[in-house]
Amino acid sequence: MGRQVAIVGVGHSKFGTRHDANIAELAWESIRQALDDAGVGQEDIEYFVVSNAGGWSSEPLPAVVVGEYAGLNPKGTVRVEAACASGSAALKLAHDIVASGQADIVLAVGIEKMNESPTPTVVEYIGRAGNFFWEFQNFGLTFPGYYALYATAYMHKYGATEEDLCRVAVKNHYYGARNPKAQFQREITVEACMNSRYVAWPLKLFDCSPITDGSAAVIVASEEIARKLTDTPVWIRAIGAASDTSNLSKRTDFTSLRAAVEAARMAYRKAGIDPENPVKHIDVAEVHDCFTIAEILAYEDLGFAKRGEGVKLVREEQTYIGGLIPVNLSGGLKAKGHPIAATGVSMAAELTRQLRQEVEKERQATINKGIALAHNVGGTGHYAYVTILSLEKPSK
């Protein structure tokens, strides 16, 4: 399986509308923090991976633009894209380069400036990433529409309500209000969510992740280098990755994302986590709540709850700190923001800081098992990555 790989440095920009910085400056905001955190210089980075979905922003080839500004030339680079899971794909590539022995220190940075285009352009661009030919062009499906289909299927099958969906948003805004890097730093109520305008029934404004500018960076290293750099390396214990059809019409179940189930299965097997009861191994999770229904599907796809019972975790507040398993203590995509290709790197940066017990006190999970999980979905379930991080070095 190659060499063990650890995260040795992380950085995170402020998420939001960032007209104050161009793409290179915004990427540098997190890269600089990651270099400082790892205690290394640009000259130590042997290769860098840039995740960016682009389309809506001015630089079509941002990897070299970021590298030039960040002083990383002449190191090799590549831009990766796996829709909203691009950041996890970047982390996997960085991991694989180190695990295979091709390099000892690699940087993964996710960067997005979505607010360089108006909302209708962004919504169209994301919508075309479902399936352009059959579903966007013929039926005009956009992402709020796709996830509204999941929501109605789940509500019909399991009796969830719009209030239940809003409860996910209330939790994530609660923690976003305690995260200085989050786009929305204000709490909301179920009532305010219920009164927000419909985007695609039953999803309302407060059920949606926003349009976000931001960057996040992670530096990974081989075991030998990691031990020299830090006393608290965060090991990448397992990465599960899977894909599914681009056409929703070819899927058989709208209350589960098959790719996420498969990615979780792979990650649990590699990490030695019991798939029947994964929460007994995990202290904290970040899951892909691009729309509130997606967080409930994630609970079930990851095995945190049985089928149809994810909504119970929400009603019983089991995914707050102190519950069965705390989820999205960063504010999640909903409140922290969702700069598409930066999200997966942001999850890894957040969970690294959670495991090191460095986040703001009110949103710090209790760490006693030393394991964190990131669930990052691209498209409508086209791609899924499940990444397991641990304080303890994997046994093999």
Residues with Cβ within 8 Å of 1's Cβ and at least 6 positions away in sequence, in order, are 99, 396
Q: Compute CA distances 243 → 37, 125, 181, 362, whole Å.
A: 33, 20, 31, 36
Question: Which candidate, 26, 30, 27, places its Cα nearest to that of 18?
Answer: 26
Sign of the Cα pseudo-torsion (185, 191, 195, 200, in order)? positive
Binding mask 174-193 toward ligand COA (x if CB under 6 A, else -) reads ----------x---------
Query: Is 166 designated active site?
Result: no
Nearest approach, Cβ of residue 193 and ligand COA (Å): 9
Exposure class string for 249-266: b at 16+ Cβ within 10 A, else e = eeeeebbbbbbbbbbbbb
Count of residues engaged in binding ligand COA, rule: CB under 6 A:
16
Nearest approach, Cβ of residue 49 and ligand COA (Å): 21
Exposure class string for 323-346: b at 16+ Cβ within 10 A, else e = ebbbbbbbbbbbbbbbbbbbbbbb
Which C-beta is closer to ligand COA: that of 11 or that of 55? 55
Q: Compute CA distances 84 → 116, 290, 369, whole Å.
A: 18, 9, 29
Which C-beta is closer to ligand COA: that of 268 or that of 299? 299
Nearest approach, Cβ of residue 158 and ligand COA (Å): 22
Catalytic residue (one of 84, 166, 208, 290): 84
Residues with Cβ within 8 Å of 26's Cβ and at least 6 positions away in sequence, in order, are 13, 18, 111, 113, 213, 214, 215
292 in contact with ligand COA (CB under 6 A) = no
Nearest approach, Cβ of residue 93 and ligand COA (Å): 21
- For every residue of 326-368, DSSP letters joined together read -B-TT-HHHHH---GGGHHHHHHHHHHHHHTT-S-GGGPPP-S
Which C-beta is closer to ligand COA: that of 209 or that of 352? 209
Which C-beta is closer to ligand COA: that of 255 or that of 390? 255
Which residue type is seen at 364? Q
Identified binder of ligand COA from the candidate list 179, 209, 354, 387, rule CB under 6 A: 209
Query: Is 338 designated active site?
Result: yes
Nearest approach, Cβ of residue 60 and ligand COA (Å): 20
Catalytic residue (one of 95, 288, 338, 382): 338
Q: Sort strands 5-12 and 234-243 into parallel, antiparallel or unpaired.
A: antiparallel
Identified binder of ligand COA from the candidate list 208, 225, 259, 374, rule CB under 6 A: 208
Q: Are 209 and 15 in contact (CB under 8 A)?
A: no
Identified binder of ligand COA from the candidate list 26, 111, 199, 329, rule CB under 6 A: 199
* Interacting residues with ligand COA between 59 and 118 (CB under 6 A): 84
Which C-beta is closer to ligand COA: that of 143 or that of 174? 143
210 in contact with ligand COA (CB under 6 A) = yes
Which C-beta is closer to ligand COA: that of 127 or that of 310? 127
Binding mask 320-359 toward ligand COA (x if CB under 6 A, else -) reads ------------------x---------------------
Which residue(s) pair with 242 in the sheet?
A: 384
53 in contact with ligand COA (CB under 6 A) = no
Q: What angle separates helix 119-128 from helix 143-158, to the nearest 10 degrees? A: 70
Nearest approach, Cβ of residue 275 and ligand COA (Å): 26
Nearest approach, Cβ of residue 178 and ligand COA (Å): 17
Count of H-run helices and E-run strands, the chain: 14, 11
Peptide bond just before 202 cis, omega within 30 deg: yes
Binding segment (CB under 6 A) for ligand COA, from list 5-13, 156-164, 209-217, 349-357: 209-217
Exposure class string for 27-43: b at 16+ Cβ within 10 A, else e = bbbbbebbbebbebebe
Identified binder of ligand COA from the candidate list 21, 123, 194, 266, rule CB under 6 A: 123
Which C-beta is closer to ligand COA: that of 145 or that of 278? 145
Active site (catalytic) residues: 84, 338
Chain residues that interact with ligand COA, rule: CB under 6 A:
84, 119, 123, 126, 143-144, 184, 199, 205-206, 208-211, 290, 338
